[in-house]
């Protein structure tokens, strides 16, 4: 998966894949070389992650902020904006276009409720899934009117950022 990140106003590109807690990732920016790294990531409490990277353990706290996410690591807070390039339209803005729209987990969390089933018709703005992250419940809404063609979310399941939850056509 590929995400566009802005960390403390510095743009970059994160490419990653994972299998459970094991992540392989590369981050390319004006300060990094984009080398492939391996890390183990465990959410020890909602919004608090233990990361083992290059033999060193790090505790990272992630919270929602008005500009994106606040990420605290080793006494330093960074503001991180996350954009999925698949959601960017030709005008350069995220939006509901034509065709299939995939609703993904905006951050790691737990699925509390699934509000739709495959085949349901939904209006733009209708609730689809409720995900709990960092002790807050977030209702993810339909970006457009359409028919639910896939539901991958299941109540009680843990999801990683970017995991597909629902698709609408």
What is d(CA 158, CA 112) in angstroms, rounded to the nearest whole number?
A: 9
CATH number where 20 lies: 3.30.700.30
> Residue 98: its pLDDT value, please?
57
pLDDT at 96 over 80: no
- Name 88's Cβ contacts closer than 8 Å, sequence gap at least 6: 94
Q: Of 1-15, 53-67, 91-105, where does mean pLDDT reach its minimum?
A: 91-105
Together in a domain, 66 and 128 = no
* Total domain count, the chain: 2
DSSP 93: S
> Residue 94: its pLDDT value, please?
45
Q: Which of 83, 105, 131 is the last residue of a domain?
A: 83
The answer to whether residue 27 is domain-embedded is yes
CATH number where 134 lies: 2.40.50.100
Task: Supply the range of the domain harboring residue 117.
Answer: 96-168
| Confidence (pTM) | 0.52
């Amino acid at each position: 998966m590929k995400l566009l990140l802005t960390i403390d106003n510095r743009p970059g590109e994160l490419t990653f894949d994972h299998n459970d807690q094991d992540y392989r990732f590369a981050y390319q920016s004006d300060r990094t070389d984009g080398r492939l790294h391996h890390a183990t990531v465990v959410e020890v409490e909602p919004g608090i992650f233990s990361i083992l990277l290059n033999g060193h353990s790090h505790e990272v706290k992630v919270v929602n902020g008005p500009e994106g996410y606040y990420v605290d690591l080793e006494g330093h807070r960074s503001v991180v904006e996350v954009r999925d390039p698949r959601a960017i339209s030709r005008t350069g803005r995220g939006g509901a276009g034509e065709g299939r729209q995939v609703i993904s987990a905006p951050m790691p969390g737990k699925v509390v409720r699934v509000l739709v089933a495959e085949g349901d018709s939904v209006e733009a703005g209708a609730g689809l899934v409720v995900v709990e992250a960092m002790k807050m419940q977030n209702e993810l809404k339909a970006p457009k009117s359409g028919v639910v063609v896939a539901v991958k979310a299941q109540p009680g399941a843990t999801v990683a950022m970017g995991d597909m939850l629902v698709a609408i056509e």
